[in-house]
Structure 1
Amino acid sequence: MNLIELFLLAAIWGASFLFLRIAAPEFGPIALITLRVGIAAIVLAPTLRSAASRSQLRSKAWPLFVVGISNSALPFGLFAYSSLYVNAGLDAILNATTPIWAAFIAAAWFQAGMSRQQISGLLLGLAGVVLLVWDTLGAGIPGAPLAIAAALLATVCYGFAVNYSKRHLAGIKPLVVAFGSQFFATIALLPAALPFWPRHAIAASTWIYVAALGVICTGFAYILYFRLIERVSAAYAASVTFLIPVFGLAWGALFLGEKVTPTMLAGGVVVLLGTALASDKLKGMWPGKQNPV
């Protein structure tokens, strides 16, 4: 059951890069992401029907605010910005570095040990990113350097959030975490979004993509995501990004006609292999003793 939910979550979040690519030019990153998290908060609001859920929300308001910023407001906005300049498939591949940053932050900030395998995975994943960046910059895409930097900063935010959630929100109902993070992300983003609200008419089809981002790619997806953190582990939940590039590339090519280059595929494979090593997905296949260093 956990594996099925992991694949479903990957398919949904892979589609989110497609929707961002379509809707961000119409709304702008800040307004779009405010709508995304606001719609998700409305969808998840019924979780507060119980007194126990309301009590947990109040008692964990600050950790939920931190998760709302680090796992939604900031990374969503950064990826929305990135989608203005680079294609959905590339963003989906860059998103796959999340477990690498999760492992690094766990060691550097949360005093968790890193094995030699994980360190090798970190370095290999970064080499894959360099390959992807080199290919994209070589194409001369305007705005690409900042877009790639924004996407990578978003994955660093995700890496922090999965570790922070495991430490500070253990035992909290997944629905409370899902609602609270989207609610606080909305509160944080709304003042910044109002000055950038689009003044032109938005096509009905674009509103459908925005609704899909909020209802499916955020509200429903975060129910799955936080449930996986609670039932399995933060590392397992973060490993969903290992699968997202497959769907991100497929949706982008199928619906937007995005070109998938050999260098992009090679860089993606290197990133995913590094991710697998960094998140211990290949544990036992690496020669030598797995001692923390």
Structure 2
Amino acid sequence: MNPMSLLRLFLLAALWGGSFLFMRVSVPVLGAIPTAFCRVALGALGLYGLIAFWRTGFSFKGKFTATLFLGVINSGIPFLLFAFAAKVLPAGYSAIINATTPLMGVLIGALAFGEQFTMSKAVGVVTGFAGVAILTRTGPTTVNGPMLWGIASCLGATACYGLAGFLTKRWITLRGGLGSSNVALGSQIGAMLMLSPFMVWDEATHPLTWHDVHANVWISMLALGLLCTSFGYVLYFRLIADVGPMKALTVTFLIPFFGTLWGWLLLNEVATLAHAFGGGLIAIALWLILQQGSSQVQKINSNKQIERV
């Protein structure tokens, strides 16, 4: 990666690592469904404002429907699953399990998209999952039923992320490309449409007294929607344009560090030596996967088929 792509990678990791902190603040008060819905609604609003400010235009070039479906897989389902996980898992745990996204990407790419599964990638997958297992089993949270459901929700979300990287290439990039901000906006609209029926049902069955919500919850939601989602997804789709879907997915290897850091600093979550050891294994897995880019990913990177913002 060139220096600017690396800078975007670390900035995105810091933002998305913070998203788990903001969910831990918001979900206990608002609930999982309202948190996920407000996140994508604010994300769509923020992206609309960014596009209007940058004057890049709202042209989807016949790919608006594709971006809607992409949003269901890349935002709607995983945001909802991570919000459910935030009920029972510390922010650092969810951020750590989120690191399985590139591993899921490698497996999904090999099984469904003809990506080459090299020895380096295989060792990276095993090493990465070993790091996640160490961090999960030796951390301060007791392994029980709710925790296992939370972990399963996180793994379901990362599988969606891994799939979405390749669908972005197939539905958007290989069809002539689309500005990254428009891809992000369309995806958030799609996620909002998908979550709307759940939001109506949740409000009907568990009405929330919105005016009693504390200011720190609203601040967390604004940060989650505008920074982590609006600005974050612009960075993410720009990374896909610059370095391809597999290398863009490796941002999630850096998220555990930031998620654990923010949780430790701001929520008094415990950080142990297991975090350092498991994080070291994840870093090794990151290096192994970065060494091997598939020929298809390299082609996307060289042709620059997604337009610059």
TM-score with structure 2 setting the length: 0.84
Q: Report the equivalent of 2:285.
A: 274
Alignment of 1:1-293 (within 5 A): 1-46=4-49, 47=51, 53-56=58-61, 59-135=62-138, 139-140=142-143, 143-170=146-173, 171-197=177-203, 198-200=207-209, 201-280=212-291
Change (3 A) 1:231 1:274: closer
Does the aligned pair in 1 maintain the 2:41–2:225 contact within 8 Å? yes
Kindly state the Cα deviation for residue 140 of structure 1 after the two structures are TM-superposed.
4.2
Identity of matched residues, %: 37
Q: Residue type of the partner of 2:126?
A: L
Distance across 2 between alignment mates of 1:15 and 1:183: 22
Q: Report the equivalent of 2:302.
A: none
**Structure 1, unpaired ranges of 5+:** 284-293
Q: Residue type of the partner of 1:229?
A: I
Distance across 1 between alignment mates of 2:56 and 2:133: 50
Q: Residue type of the partner of 1:82?
A: A
Structure 2 residue matching 1:143: 3-state secondary structure: helix
Q: Residue type of the partner of 2:235?
A: L
Kindly state the Cα deviation for residue 142 of structure 1 after the two structures are TM-superposed.
5.8
Q: Which moved more, 1:123-132 or 1:45-54?
A: 45-54
Distance across 2 between alignment mates of 1:77 and 1:89: 18
Kindly state the Cα deviation for residue 281 of structure 1 after the two structures are TM-superposed.
6.8
Distance across 2 between alignment mates of 1:282 and 1:159: 15
Q: Residue type of the partner of 2:237?
A: F
1:227-259: CA deviations, max 9, x gaps?
111122112211111211111111000000000
Does the aligned pair in 1 maintain the 2:127–2:285 contact within 8 Å? yes
Q: Report the equivalent of 1:290.
A: none
Does the aligned pair in 1 maintain the 2:137–2:143 contact within 8 Å? no
Q: Residue type of the partner of 1:132?
A: L
Does the aligned pair in 1 maintain the 2:140–2:270 contact within 8 Å? no
Q: Residue type of the partner of 1:199?
A: L
Distance across 1 between alignment mates of 2:225 and 2:163: 23
Change (3 A) 1:141 1:268: farther
Does the aligned pair in 2 maintain the 1:276–1:282 contact within 8 Å? no
Does the aligned pair in 1 maintain the 2:60–2:178 contact within 8 Å? no
1:31-51: CA deviations, max 9, x gaps?
111100011111112537979
Distance across 2 between alignment mates of 1:29 and 1:103: 29
Does the aligned pair in 2 maintain the 1:7–1:240 contact within 8 Å? yes
Task: Say how many residue pairs are matched.
Answer: 281
Change (3 A) 1:253 1:281: farther
Does the aligned pair in 2 maintain the 1:11–1:244 contact within 8 Å? yes
TM-score with structure 1 setting the length: 0.89
Structure 2 residue matching 1:148: 3-state secondary structure: helix
Does the aligned pair in 2 maintain the 1:107–1:113 contact within 8 Å? yes
Structure 2 residue matching 1:125: 3-state secondary structure: helix
Distance across 2 between alignment mates of 1:274 and 1:214: 30
Structure 2 residue matching 1:112: 3-state secondary structure: coil
Distance across 2 between alignment mates of 1:265 and 1:55: 44
Structure 1 residue matching 2:291: 3-state secondary structure: coil
User: Displaced runs of 4+ in structure 1, greater than 6 A?
Assistant: 48-52
Q: What RMSD, in angstroms, separates the aligned Cα atoms of the two structures? A: 2.3
